[in-house]
Amino acid sequence: MADEPIRVLIVDDHAIVRQGLQTVVRVLKGMEWVGEARNGSEAISAVAELKPDLVLMDLVMPDVDGVQAIAAIKRDHPATRVIALTTFAEADLVLGAVQSGADGYLLKDVDIGDLERAIQTVMAGKPFLHPEATRHLLQATAQPVEPGDTLTAREREVLVGLARGLTNRQIAGELSIAEKTVSVHVSNLLAKLHLTSRTQAALYATRSGLFNPE
């Protein structure tokens, strides 16, 4: 149901961080805290048991780290959204989180408004990256990228739509084509570019110069 709250699982190895995030989630309208985990291993088990809609995932943790946990969660529960949270902005962490299937990436110093916006964005099926994370991603993948020579003109238009954070329905409306046709184009361009998610597609569009986030 559309009026059901977004069920949120919090994963962090520091109790004070978990408590702080829990407090924030509890005060945000339309969200419900359903549980917490102290590391990636516990997170994987908690997702299987609690079936949250969204996971706020720390990346640097003992035992199984956040990147490994994201990969396992997205493999076994692809509908579960995951936002990676960390105090670090190193490119390898950002890149690892995105490659593992994270739907969004935020630094822990983000304000409540940005956190709420990030949650709503990824729950709508759109990628959300902190601007600092985007800069580090572009630095980590600084090799020149050709703007998809194998893509058709329509696939490029759809790719730009993905980079803008549009849903398939919104892209279909702008291009005056059927939503199912957009879905086909998305599947085709991901396959041609050897990408696995809309987030990776958005980053590709930025790196290749097809889309300027500024």
For residue 197, the domain's CATH number is 1.10.10.10
Q: Are residues 115 and 171 in the same domain?
A: no
30: domain range? 6-140
How far apart CA 151 and CA 99 sit, in angstroms, is 22
Asked whether residue 147 is domain-assigned, the answer is no
When divided into structural domains, the chain yields a total of 2
Question: At residue 46, does pLDDT exceed 90?
Answer: yes
How confident is the model at residue 1, as a pLDDT? 45
Q: Are residues 180 and 126 in the same domain?
A: no
With bands split at pLDDT 50, 70 and 90, how would you rate the model's confidence at 101? Answer: confident
pLDDT in tens, 75-94: 999 999 999 988 765 556 77
Mean pLDDT of the chain: 85
Q: Which residue has the higher pLDDT, 197 or 68?
A: 68
Residue 76 backbone dihedrals phi, psi, to 5 degrees: -90, -25
How far apart CA 46 and CA 44 sit, in angstroms, is 6
pTM of model > 0.85: no
Asked whether residue 87 is domain-assigned, the answer is yes
Asked whether residue 13 is domain-assigned, the answer is yes
pLDDT in tens, 152-176: 888 889 999 988 888 889 999 999 9
Q: Are residues 177 and 108 in the same domain?
A: no
Q: Are residues 123 and 179 in the same domain?
A: no
Percent helix, strand, coil in the chain, to 5, is: 50, 15, 35
Q: Are residues 134 and 44 in the same domain?
A: yes
